[in-house]
Amino acid sequence: MVWDGWNVEGPVVAPGLMSALTVVDAVAAVDGAAVRLVDSVAIRLDEVTKVFGSGDSRLLAVDRLSMEVNRGELVCLLGASGCGKSTVLNLVAGLETPTRGTVSVPAGNTTLMFQEAALFPWLTVEQNVGMPMRLRGRRRSERSGEVRELLELVRLDRFAKHRPHELSGGMRQRVALARALAQHSEVLLMDEPFGAVDAITRDLLHEDLVRVRHETDVTILFVTHSVREATRLGDRIVVLSSRPGRVLEEFTIPGDGSPAGHELAAAPLVPRITEVLRHEIGRHGRG
């Protein structure tokens, strides 16, 4: 009887709530769909070809490459040397123009991060992070609060007054990450940013990047030649061929949003991705 009572009581209250929720949900869904239709894509490359030089010394770096990166997504471009990964980043950053095809970044501005931290050695950590704001003409009083928040985000608030040469390689890359975020770009283009640090540091930097990404909703296009790094970080992995760069295969990692879930979902893909990559490298060996 008691159970019946509960059973009866449940649906009595529920229908009203349910219908209310459904309406709100539907509106949200329609809204979401509308928003998604307009600008869910952050980066779009359409049949992009890039040729360097001319005549005999002509180099086809990227060949009819088409891909999209959605807002908030972290896509890894994976490939061996000569796959034009850096060229793709430069094209997206607007530092190069495509020979054919179109590159568009509907999301807005882009920021490049390099393998080297490229910090200014004459400035302290906080001055380095505040540099993009300073260049935009924001006064010290206006930028100090945000600089502190960014340093907390990369766990370097205790090192605000240090200079780059007093930090380790991994710490410098975190400063560079904070400085990149200080540019308020919607898209972060990372060119093997953790290529020059040791394995333990790289592991921690991966954790930092995953955390920062979830806290900031930034869209990331991440270039790497490491299958491990790509599967660890990417929501999606685009494997590129070498000389010229074309899309060989795409892998989507169906994670549940948690780092552990991501790792679990990525693990079975590792052998296949490695095989694709090795096959591509081997193709060049056979002449």
Residues that bind another protein (CB under 8 A): 93, 95, 111-112, 114, 116, 118-123, 131-132, 134-136, 155, 159, 163-168, 170-171, 179, 183, 200-201, 204, 207-208, 211
Q: Please identify, using beta-carbon distances, which residue of 105 and 237 lies nearer to another protein.
A: 105
Tokens of 178: 């904070």
Q: Which is nearer to another protein, 182 or 239 (CB)?
A: 182
Residue placing its CB nearer to another protein in the complex, 77 or 205: 205
Q: How far is the CB of 110 from another protein (least distance, A)?
A: 9
* 3-class DSSP state of 95: coil
Indicate the residue among 78 and 175 with the shorter CB distance to another protein: 175
**Cα separations (Å) of 80 from 125, 193, 226, 231, 283?**
34, 16, 9, 15, 12
User: In sequence order, what DSSP letters do the residues of 52-74 get, joined into one string?
Assistant: ES-GGG-EEEEEEEEEEEETT-E
CB of 171 to another protein, least distance (A): 6
Q: What's the closest the beta carbon of residue 268 comes to another protein, in angstroms?
A: 24
CB of 200 to another protein, least distance (A): 7
Helix axes 125-135, 169-181, angle to 10 degrees: 20
Alpha helices in 100-217 (DSSP H): 125-135, 140-153, 169-181, 199-216
